Chain A
């Protein structure tokens, strides 16, 4: 890899081109391996594809670019505090529409920080959901009979099941 390269171009699963800086790409292990293996110089016309759709990839790259300076150099406490606030704003998104895709992308791209953040965000959102809302977003069919359901409620009389 040429040291002069500062940004690389990748393709999303929808075929759109995206630019990501080298330092940001280093947040992902597979992207880092790609950087080492593939030639990203100008005369190399092979553009690697990332199996993440465009809508999700935009968000993932946004996260990487924001977190890269801190990951590479370390940061002061005030920076960490600012980044935490940014993460909260960044994660304000629809669960099914985009959050689940971010989760899968973070898992696929081995991005520990984003994966942890997305899991926690999903858990926080699920806390306030009803059982039927959970079934809906996870595409789960209720396979309990009404007797079994009643039995579960009886086991935990002090807990809400709605």
Chain B
């Protein structure tokens, strides 16, 4: 028996290598290069990695961070602002802080940045941009590569910006092996049907889509703009003005493969008075959606964490279980 490994065994080993090593080994020879850069290999490698990580990897995003420069640390001199990404692996207890290489494309003086991750890719968007349209980019922190997306089809002029709200979503279309960014341009007051565009990473272009969008407006400017991927869909917490003047709050979801919108109900409590804001989180290794709900009850801040029990549900609404309830002192 020689020590030449047959190709099927080589492939099995490659599946177990981290992305950084795989990129390095594309330069071993042409055969390995085409094997590693093959779409099917990339997809299978991703799936195996997700399965192996078993929901133990986390990405955190520091919106606002500063570094002190110079020898004399007690003097607050030369503050430098930058965004950073913090990732944690619960299983191996390994964590690292990665400084974002493109802070110059953001204004860095406000909190209003869209941020979403999907399969280790990071998508960021900032409407206050040095460009003549919003800065939108997709970043691969492992390969240290980022892509600044081209100008969307419909943009608003600088002076009109306050009249419009922008809403982004980033997700993976497993049917077409494609990453998509969804952008909704919505007029604040009119509650007209928003203009919807989809950017595909495979085709490298924007396209407007005509699709039925439930009437909505973003309830809270800062928090609602964040959306997350779960079961192939992107989610936002939005609201709708009722005829009696009160707001109905619900989850708007967008199926990344189908390119259709749906409405999901929030836990009953959150729609009542005293509501402040809701944040969506993906839990259980991306299989379930959780809602962190903060409300004001008798001058006390009450946080509730709800987990969606079953994602696919008929028109009766989603089922939630209350995980934690925390009351912050008056």
Contact = CB atoms under 8 A, between A and B. Distances in A.
B18 interface: yes
Contacts of A153: 27
A129 to B, nearest CB: 8
Contact of B144 (A100, A119, A135, A158): A158
Given A140-B32, A161-B24, A123 B143 contact: no
B28 A134 contact: yes
Interface in A90-108: 96-97, 100-101, 103-104, 107
Contacts of B76: none
Nearest to B11: A119
Interface in B1-36: 1, 3-6, 8-10, 12-18, 20-21, 23-33
Contact of B5 (A52, A56, A104, A127): A104
A152 B3 CA distance: 29
A144 B34 CA distance: 13
Interface size classification for chain A: 35 or more
A156 B28 contact: no
B201 to A, nearest CB: 16
Contacts of B143: 156, 158-159
A51 B1 contact: yes
B22 to A, nearest CB: 10
B24 A160 contact: yes
B3 A101 contact: yes
A158 B24 CA distance: 11
A141 interface: yes
Given A13-B1, A139-B4, A131 B28 contact: yes
A76 interface: no
A119 B33 CA distance: 20
Q: Which among B1, B18, B27, B30 has the greatest number of chain A C-beta atoms within 10 A? A: B27
B144 A123 contact: no
29 contacts: A51-B1, A52-B1, A96-B3, A100-B3, A100-B5, A101-B1, A103-B13, A104-B1, A104-B5, A119-B9, A120-B16, A122-B13, A123-B16, A126-B13, A126-B17, A126-B21, A127-B18, A131-B24, A131-B28, A135-B28, A139-B4, A140-B32, A141-B29, A144-B30, A149-B27, A152-B26, A157-B145, A159-B20, A161-B24
Interface of B: 1, 3-6, 8-10, 12-18, 20-21, 23-33, 143-145
